[in-house]
Amino acid sequence: MRKMEDRVASIQPIKSKLRLKILDESDIRAIDETALKILGEIGVYMPLERALKTYAESGASVDFKSQRVRIPADLVKTSMGRAPKQYTLAARNRPDLDLKLGEQKATYFNNGGCASSTIDFVTHERRPSCKDDLAKMAKIVDYLPIFSFYWPIVSATEHLKSSTLHELDASFNHTEKHIQTETVQGEIQTRYAIEMASVIAGGRENLRKRPILSSLICGIAPLGHDKEALEAALGFAEAGIPVGFMSMPTMGATAPASQAGALAMGLAEVLSGLVLIQLVNPGCPVYMSIISAIVDPRSGEYRYSSSFAQVTNAASVQLAQYYGIPVYSGASFGGDAHELNTWQMGRENLYLPFMEVMVGADLCCSMGLIEAVNLFHPARVIFDREIFHAIQIISQGIEVNSQTLLFDTIRQVGPRGHFLGQRHTAEQLPKLSPSSILFQRSKTVGQRYEDPVKLAWEEIEWILQNHKFPELEPGVQRELKRIIKEAEWELGIS
């Protein structure tokens, strides 16, 4: 088995020195103006009485029958002005694992989610996902610094209606890093999810001060929201838990077949959610996300890794920056490939995270999934780490100073010499050649080719067998189980 090093959890956000702008200022203004026009004239479907009332009381035009809200531009601007520009997503015990959002200095990565199938850790066969997969992945996330926070990566499908709470239970129990739920929905589940987080944080007030849990709410493009998702958003917001709204415009199907149109519509959709949060709890930490895709013009399948979609997703970061709020911008999300270690997989998963760090996204997800979010492939995590390291190196650009220009060394070697025997070379060359499981280099005698997928599995197995992390107090563990039981009773699950 490949041996790795023992270590405590750490995080390694990418701090890109390279900068990229996809939209210029007039593009951003035009997209924003169109989004505000969409909100004011077309409106958004909001199927929750409380949300409609909140909007009606705040001066929006609300049609209670069709559940449509038309939001004037000044209400959008005033409300968004109340959203904090910077805040912290806290880790369970250690501030050095905290995520500082809105500073535009670092991009924090996490794993993708939430798939419904897993490649089994032992048999390597495909099967429906379960709670134990979540626990194992949480442990991997805890170990690998490339992960700054954890999304429950798969669904605890065996628990049906209470699956989202079991997902949190497995997550909190196996990593100290920040947890972000993208699946908790509905008033009941949200109430119990907050209770679980409070127990770990040491009470509601502590949770508010150091939110160890944040939430991501997905709208339903075009221009709609889900009732249970809105219930979750309001519940989390009232508890002071950071709430993000994500729009997933699929060009050609749930959005116009145009990148600018998809951005304007996506922005309108997320703003309709974020403004609601600011009306309910002014100053609540929020973030936004627009993750576009295209629909396959023949099969109707979701194509996330289209290059048209990827550059659109990176551009959405600039829209969030325009509004002065943190942004979660998706990376590969697993891409569309059906096999690991293929040309397609590599192509799909490099560009977007690379653009994201250069455009200054706060949060970025990618790792661990294939088949467009449907399948968790544990070995992929190690492949993703390779991409992450490549991006980290490239995004640092080139350092130019007397220590790096090395005039004296060049003089010493002079014409027709070589640099291999130089102390500087001995120190620096290995750093320029980090180890990789993907690259097949020429082998010295006796070495043989090793399948990267096999090597990746060995690393995963090492982590699962060897990584130790501080477990929750037994009392807290019991309390989480009790809360889930109570929730299941209220949900009518015996």
Partner 1 sequence: MTNEELFEKMYQAILKGEKEEAASLARISTEKNISPLEAIHRGFVRGMEEVGIRFESEEMYLPELVMAADAMISAMGVLEGEIKKGAERPKRIGRAIAGTVYGDIHDIGKNIVCTLFTVNGFEVIDLGTGVPTDLFVEKVSEEKPDLLLLSALLTTTMPGQREVIEALTRAGLRNSVKVLVGGAPVSQNWADEIGADGFGRNAVEGVSIAKELIG
Residue numbers of the site for partner 1 (CB under 8 A)?
114-117, 126-128, 155, 157, 160-161, 163-164, 183, 185, 220, 224, 226, 250, 252-254, 257, 295-302, 372-374
CA 318/CA 245 separation, integer angstroms: 16
Closest CA to 45 of 66, 28, 23: 66
Rounded to the nearest whole angstrom, what is the least distance from the CB of residue 177 to partner 1 in the complex? 23
Q: Judged by CB, which is closer to partner 1: 16, or 254?
A: 254
Q: Judged by CB, which is closer to partner 1: 202, or 300?
A: 300
CA 308/CA 160 separation, integer angstroms: 36
CA 199/CA 488 separation, integer angstroms: 18
Instruction: To the nearest 10°, report the CA torsion of 263, 267, 268, 274.
Output: 170
Q: Judged by CB, which is closer to partner 1: 183, or 395?
A: 183
Rounded to the nearest whole angstrom, what is the least distance from the CB of residue 22 to partner 1 in the complex? 27
CA 147/CA 122 separation, integer angstroms: 23
Q: Judged by CB, which is closer to partner 1: 56, or 220?
A: 220
Rounded to the nearest whole angstrom, what is the least distance from the CB of residue 49 to partner 1 in the complex? 16
Pair of tokens at residue 262: 């998809």
Rounded to the nearest whole angstrom, what is the least distance from the CB of residue 300 to partner 1 in the complex? 4
Q: Judged by CB, which is closer to partner 1: 296, or 461?
A: 296
Q: Judged by CB, which is closer to partner 1: 258, or 425?
A: 258
Rounded to the nearest whole angstrom, what is the least distance from the CB of residue 257 to partner 1 in the complex? 8
Q: Which amino acid is present at 324?
A: G
Q: Is the dihedral angle over the CA atoms 194, 196, 197, 199 positive or is it negative? A: positive
Q: Judged by CB, which is closer to partner 1: 107, or 111?
A: 111
Say how far residue 244 (Cα) sits from the centre of its chain.
11
Rounded to the nearest whole angstrom, what is the least distance from the CB of residue 476 to partner 1 in the complex? 26
Residue 245: phi, psi to the nearest 5? -115, 135
The answer to whether 296 touches 303, Cβ cutoff 8 Å, is: yes
Residue 87: phi, psi to the nearest 5? -165, 180
Rounded to the nearest whole angstrom, what is the least distance from the CB of residue 122 to partner 1 in the complex? 18
Rounded to the nearest whole angstrom, what is the least distance from the CB of residue 299 to partner 1 in the complex? 4
Closest CA to 210 of 221, 198, 222, 218: 198
Pair of tokens at residue 361: 């996204």
Pair of tokens at residue 78: 């005033």
Q: Judged by CB, which is closer to partner 1: 72, or 224?
A: 224
Closest CA to 109 of 378, 392, 322: 392
